[in-house]
Structure 1
Amino acid sequence: MYSILQMIHSYWAYLVLTMIVIASFNAITKYLSGKEFQAIDFRIALFTLIVTHIQLLIGLALYFVSPNGFKNISANGMSGLSSAARLLAVEHPFVGILAVTFITIGYSKHKKKLTSKPKFKVLAIFYTLGLLLVLSRIPWSNWF
């Protein structure tokens, strides 16, 4: 179970990262150029929201079955974790939850805006914050 969840979480992360980059870039460029909000923009924002939430659910399941997550904290305590173990057991999950929270807030707030410029502004701010958080706590050593 652990190895399957880890594989899914790792490969799904590529889709998540790609979608957050696309959604952030789309929102920033269309905000700066003053374009109208269209159905494709809504779909990009929605698909990004969906894939990030799926990644969060996979990650939470992985957190409780992985020897690197909750089990590691239970066995060693917080003070017994190395920096690499702390990244996997504490920082990566916490910052991932924050990133998904920012993306969710951005998606929810953009729906309440009536015109294009404020919609793109909200999406650009919150999705880019989510992207920066994700990039800050990816365990890069496991990716390469």
Structure 2
Amino acid sequence: MYTTLLAIHSLTRWLVLPSLLFAIQRAFRGWYSGKAFSTFDEAVRLAVVTITNIQVSLGLVLYAISPITTYFSHHYQVAVHVGEMRFFGIEHAFMMIMATLLISIGSVRVKNKRHDQEKFKTMAIWFTLGLLVILIAIPWPFSPLAKRPFFRLVY
């Protein structure tokens, strides 16, 4: 179950990133061009929040059953000094929860704005902040924090 869930979590990032980039692109375009905030923009906002929340939920389940985080919690004094252990034991989870909160807060703030330009501006700023945190927290193959493949398959 763990390896399957890990593969799903790894692949789901490829839903989060493009949907978030698409929403940000629409938000900046709408903000700078003076467009109306359409029902499609609303659907994009909701889709991004939903996909992001699904991803963080999968991550929290993984956090609870992962052998890395289990080791980290049982051997904290040693594990906190090992970069990759600390990354998955604290940093990755914390930053992804923070990114999800930024995106969710931004989404709620968009919903409460009255004017279209305020909606686009709010979505652009909050979603971009969330994306920046996500990009830092993903264990990319080239990351100095923890290296993982672009695609993790079940084996």
Cα distance in structure 1, aligned partners of 2:2 and 2:103 = 27
Local SS of the residue matching 1:142: coil
Unaligned runs of 5+ in 1: none
Cα distance in structure 2, aligned partners of 1:117 and 1:83 = 43
What is the identity, as a one-letter code, of the residue corresponding to 1:142?
A: R
- What count of residue pairs does the alignment treat as equivalent? 143
- Pairwise mapping of residues 75-86 of structure 1 onto structure 2 (< 5 A)? 75-81=74-80, 82-86=82-86
TM value normalised by structure 2? 0.88
Runs (4+) of structure 1 exceeding 3 A deviation are none
What is the alpha-carbon root mean square deviation over aligned residues?
1.1
- Pairwise mapping of residues 86-97 of structure 1 onto structure 2 (< 5 A)? 86-97=86-97
Q: Are 1:16 and 2:16 matched, yes or no?
A: yes
The answer for the alignment partner of 1:73 in structure 2 is: 72
Deviation (angstroms), 1:125:
0.8
Cα distance in structure 2, aligned partners of 1:116 and 1:25 = 15
Unaligned runs of 5+ in 2: 141-146, 151-155
Q: If each structure's helix is expressed as a fraction of its own residues, which one has the higher value? A: 1
The answer for the alignment partner of 1:142 in structure 2 is: 148
State, as a whole percentage, how many aligned pairs show the same letter: 37
Deviations 1:44-94 (A, max 9, x none): 11000000000011000000111122x022232054331112111211110
Partners of 1:88 and 1:139 within 8 A in 2: no
The answer for the alignment partner of 1:38 in structure 2 is: 38
TM value normalised by structure 1? 0.94
Partners of 1:106 and 1:122 within 8 A in 2: yes
